[in-house]
Amino acid sequence: MTEEKKFEMESLQDRETVCKYLEALKEGFIQGGINLSSNEENLSVVPGGLIKFTIKAKKKNGEVKLNLRFRWADMETPETDSKVDTNALSDHEKE
pLDDT score of 90 more than 70 = no
The domains of the chain are located at 15-73+81-94
pLDDT score of 81 more than 70 = no
| d(C-alpha 80, C-alpha 31), whole Å | 8
| d(C-alpha 1, C-alpha 3), whole Å | 6
| d(C-alpha 64, C-alpha 87), whole Å | 27
| d(C-alpha 75, C-alpha 57), whole Å | 29
What's the pLDDT at 4?
86
Mean pLDDT on 15-35: 96
pLDDT score of 15 more than 90 = yes
Sign of CA dihedral 27, 28, 29, 31: positive
Mean pLDDT on 39-67: 95
Mean pLDDT on 42-70: 96
State percent of the chain over pLDDT 70.
Answer: 77
